[in-house]
Amino acid sequence: MSKRPPPFVPPEVDLRGMDFMPLKGDRLFNSKTWIEASGEACKAMLRLYWQAYAHEAPAASLPNSERLLAQHAGYGSAVKAWLRVRDQAMRGWVLCSDGRWYHKVLAELALSAWAGRVRNREKVRQWREKKQGFGGAVTGTEPLRNRREGEGQLEGEIINGRFPNKLGAGARAALAAAVFAGGDAREPDEHDDGRSDANELADAAPAPR
C-alpha cells in the first residue's frame, strides 16, 4: 500500500463564508476531466468543487465518506446513484494523509483566496489600532452612513488646513498623512471576497455624496 501524500493546503486555510469561487473557465472546460465526463457527472463535479472551496475546512478538501460525498454532489441519500458517476466526478481528487480528499487545482485557488483573506484581516487590525489611536471606540456597529459623514468632515478640514481640535498632535499628523496618501479611514471588510487588489481599491474609494 502506497503512502498517502500530505494535504495540499495547511489546516488553517478556511474559506467558509466566501460567496463565490473563481471558475477558470478555459482551464476547466478544455480539461480532459470535463470533456470526458457525462453531463450528470459534470454537475456533480461543480457541486463538489464549490462544497470543498467554500464550505469545508481545510478549504479544497472533502470528507472521505460516500454518504457525505453523495449529499454534497446533489444526490442526497441516493448513494447508489452517486456511485454511478463517482469515478468521473472525483477525477483529480487525491486521498491524503489526514484522511480527506484534496484537489490540486482547487488547492491553488484556495491558497490564493486565503492569502487575500489574511491581508484583509491585517487591514482590519491596522484600522482598529489606528482608530483607537484617534481616541475612538471600535464597536463594529457604527452605521456606515455616519462614518462616511464624519470622515468627509475630517478630510475636508485637513485639506483646508484645519485640524479637529479633539485629536492630539500625533493623531492629526497620522490622519493627515493617511488622507494625502489616499488612505481609507473606513473599516475594511474582515472577510476577504477573493477579488483582485484593484477591485478592493475601487471599493475603498469614497462614495459619491
Question: Does residue 167 belong to any structural domain of this protein?
Answer: yes
Q: Which of 65, 84, 110 is the last residue before a domain boundary?
A: 110
> Both 80 and 137 in a single domain?
no
> Both 125 and 106 in a single domain?
no
Domain limits at 169? 121-204
Q: Tell me what pLDDT residue 201 has.
A: 29
Q: Tell me what pLDDT residue 129 has.
A: 86
CA atoms of 96 and 89, how far apart (whole Å) = 18
- Residue 56, pLDDT above cutoff 60: yes
Contacts of 193 (CB under 8 A, 6+ apart): 18, 19, 20, 116
Please state the domain count of the chain.
2
Within a 10 A sphere around the Cβ of 97, how many other Cβ atoms?
A: 10
Q: Which of 110, 139, 168 is the last residue before a domain boundary?
A: 110
- Residue 202, pLDDT above cutoff 70: no
